[in-house]
Amino acid sequence: MTGAVEFTPWIKTYPSGRADARATLVFPHAGGAALAYRSLGMALARAGSNAYVMQYPQRGDRLAHPAPATVGALAEDLFAAGDWAGLGPLNLFGHCMGAVVAFEFARVAERRSVPINALFCSASEAPSTVADAPDLPMARDEILAEMVDLGGTDARLLDDDDFVELLLLAVRADYAAFNRYACDDEVGIAADIHTLGGDRDHRVSEATLRRWESHTRGAFTNSMFDGGHFYVNDHADEVAELVNAL
């Protein structure tokens, strides 16, 4: 069935080759490009999922695409990229800001009668807590300090002026949308929510992850892995097995 479904070329696909494979959509962190999730996409394929990694505007092959002003608009933009209903019940995996984008994608999908099996929220604060958190930085030096602190960017790349300018373009687009985001505690989805995090993440604790429980009318679980905010880089296969098992 998946072979008959067409998507825009900026969605990066990692097919499992299995006839019974479930589709898993991957939503990157703020400033993250689809290429950064190649290892996870391949791990998901090995575990039995057909993986589809989203590419946000203002980076990679969407460099010229205008940035949506809100997280909701970004979710609508990604939903319009293909006939998701043709893939059956979807798994959604989002890391950091990507989890909130995936949550809004799930809300769009449910309004359009596209079934969501489960939402996997990795290293992310819950939607209802975003508005009360301090705004994400927009100044160059503060953004770069944030990247170093989170640990998801090779520090050597930050010495490359061309790379930094492209990174800032993507990060500012995402941060601006995220800073405008607000969601009430009672807003939820029918799909199950499973949170994942690193046990040494100094930004997102297990207690922070558990705040997601109020946003599902289904089941909720939490799993912790050894590592920091980008623990998933070291546990791609384990994460993929977990996603494919639920």
Q: What pLDDT digit, counting tens, does each position of 108-162 carry?
A: 999 999 999 999 999 999 999 999 999 999 999 999 988 888 876 777 778 888 9
Q: Could you list the residue range(s) of the whole structural domain that residue 115 is in? A: 2-245
Band of residue 1 on the pLDDT scale cut at 50, 70, 90: very low
Alpha carbon 29 to chain centroid, angstroms:
6
- Tens digit of each residue's pLDDT (9 = 90 or more) over 55-90: 999 999 999 999 999 999 999 999 999 999 999 899
DSSP H helix total and E strand total for the chain: 8, 7
Q: Measure the CA–CA gap between 44 and 38, rounded to whole angstroms.
A: 10
CATH number for the domain harbouring residue 76? 3.40.50.1820
pLDDT for the residue 3 = 46
Residues 6+ apart with CB under 8 A from 162: none
Number of domains in the chain: 1
Enclosing H/E stretch for 13: strand 12-14
